[in-house]
Structure 1
Amino acid sequence: MKPCLDVRVWRDSDVPGLEVSRILSSPHAFPKHAHEHYAIGVMEDGGAYCLEPDRDDCFVAAGEIALINPGQVHSGIPPSGVRATYRMLNVDVLWMRRLAQDLGREGYPEFTRWVVGAPRAREMLLRLTCLVAEGGELLAKESAMVAAFSLLMAGHAAMRPSLPGPGGEPEAVRRVKEHLHEHLDAKVSLEELAAETGLSRYHLLRVFKAATGMSPYAYHLQLRVEHARRLLLKGLPFVQAASEAGFSDQSHFSNTFRHFFGMTPGQYLAR
């Protein structure tokens, strides 16, 4: 798959809890994955499925907003022949929790629907992305961010005491996750994971997929590419970030990064 022809990413020190991107006319299909942050997608043209193409309740059409919680497994698949133009806003978990507290709500917001219309919130999200992209004034950016996410939170979120995490899953899955997190720069075999849990290889695959929606390989690959992304943002050279995430082949790293993020590492870092 070729990279997006037109993609921009903005990170603004005035609003450190936010990362904004705009993708034009992209046919890219994202694999199943999850984020550590809230991911809000504003579809401008075309459309895409947040999950499998047979889930009509997860189709984001032009004018609609996708609401994805931290840890929520999803994909991003345009229908055949369709190119999607959209904006993404990635929002820090602690920022969202502080906003909830400002609104008199305790805990962490959890969006209760995949896709919403919410024209007023959409208008504010578009304004926010423009302000960040164009270097707007601090007060204007902060005001737009609070207004947009207050609307989404008030209309489409419930509160939960904590984010999804270890504890509500089988012990074998927890141990596999820990092992994969601890070996981001190494090859991990299915035999190794089976020995770690005491399950057969077949049973382990079934249990892990049922609990996470992904295979151990897909889960580990996502962890590695996300680790590399954070290292790149810290200023590590491309080769070093790839190596520390277990990618010895630079082409493989670049292709994997593009597969998960819809853009090359160079496009992601360009501002």
Structure 2
Amino acid sequence: MERPAARVFRPGGLEGVECLAARGLKVRFARHFHEGYAVGVVEEGALGFRYLGRSCLARAGLVNLTAPGEVHDGRPACDAGWTYRMFYLEPRVLAEVAAELDEGAGRLPEFASGVLDDPTLAGGLAALHRDLEAGAATLLERQERLRALLAVWIARHAEPGPAPALAPGTRSGTALAVAPVPGQGPIPARQSRGREPGAVARARDFLRERAARPVSLEELAREAGLSPWRLTRAFTSAVGIAPHAYQLQLRVDQARGLLARGEPIANVAQACGFCDQSHLNRAFKRFTGLTPGQYAQGFARPAR
């Protein structure tokens, strides 16, 4: 039987780590962000994406990455699409390794490029990912290999100087998306959380606290202290996506967590603020490239 086009799994013993193996992708990802780091290797084909205000091309053998909160898109850059293996890492995972490298305790590494030509790093990431998927590594081995690879990534490619501190409670997300929104221009580089307008920070926090319930634009604008029109413009400029898209992704992220714990899809839809299971299915597919059922299958059996 042919393997599915995409599989997500959480390797045992690696807290804050989620993996995605996908092949032959030809979807066009809309603007989205990850709350954690995303790093992986293109094995076949080519992936194009807009990131940090620049057009990036990740061909086979190259490392592709995004930093927490940075909005980006994605598209096939050749007729065959692309096949890749991705790691999604909670920010604290890299912060711990950076602290061990004397890069500053509790600081998040920053990377200036979304594509790296580093065969050693690429080969190590791909080999570890394959072994994790096959359950071929012991607990100690998988922990040692991951930390060693993250240390190489940071030491070779992180930007020098202080980076924003790790925000309390920050976690990762594997949000992917399809169907870009017509009429939207280039993706702006998101301002770091400490430098974004205070009104936007208040709006983000308000949406996080109420992700599963209806929030009107007027209510959000009052909380932020701006008019609805000004808030929408400021939020989109600072974050890279509009408030409604931000809230929808928060709901999908919550759904991912519940599905990973084995909650029934219908219950997840209700708990996360979706109108019904069909609404969850459409949104989940748009932001992850998978249906909720496909995603949940990756957690049906505990990783060895």
Instruction: Give TM-score, length-normalised by structure 2.
Output: 0.80
Q: How does 1:1-271 map to 2 (within 5 A)?
A: 5-51=4-50, 55-56=54-55, 58-79=56-77, 81-106=79-104, 107-135=107-135, 136-158=137-159, 159-163=162-166, 166-271=193-298
Structure 1 gaps of 5+ residues are none
- Tell me what 2:178 maps to: none
Displacement of 1:86: 0.7
- Tell me what 2:172 maps to: none
Check the 8 A contact 2:266/2:276 in 1, yes or no: no
Indicate the SS of the match to 1:187.
Answer: coil
Flag as ranges the 4+ runs of structure 1 deviating above 4 A: none
Give deviations 1:74-102, integer Å, cap 9, x for gaps: 22222474421111111222221221222
Return the letter of the residue paired with 2:163.
R
Whole-Å separation in 2 of the counterparts to 1:114 and 1:198: 35
Give deviations 1:190-222, integer Å, cap 9, x for gaps: 233233334333222211111111111111111
Check the 8 A contact 1:40/1:68 in 2, yes or no: yes
The alignment covers a number of residue pairs equal to 266
Return the letter of the residue paired with 1:50.
F
Question: What is the root-mean-square deviation in Å for CA atoms of aligned residues?
Answer: 2.2
Return the letter of the residue paired with 1:203.
R
- Which has the larger share of helix? 1
Return the letter of the residue paired with 2:129.
T
Whole-Å separation in 1 of the counterparts to 2:88 and 2:133: 14
- Tell me what 2:170 maps to: none
Change (3 A) 1:251 1:79: farther
Check the 8 A contact 1:51/1:77 in 2, yes or no: no
Q: After superposing the two structures, state which structure 1 stretch, 162-171 or 21-30, moved more.
A: 162-171
Indicate the SS of the match to 2:110.
Answer: strand
Whole-Å separation in 2 of the counterparts to 1:263 and 1:131: 23
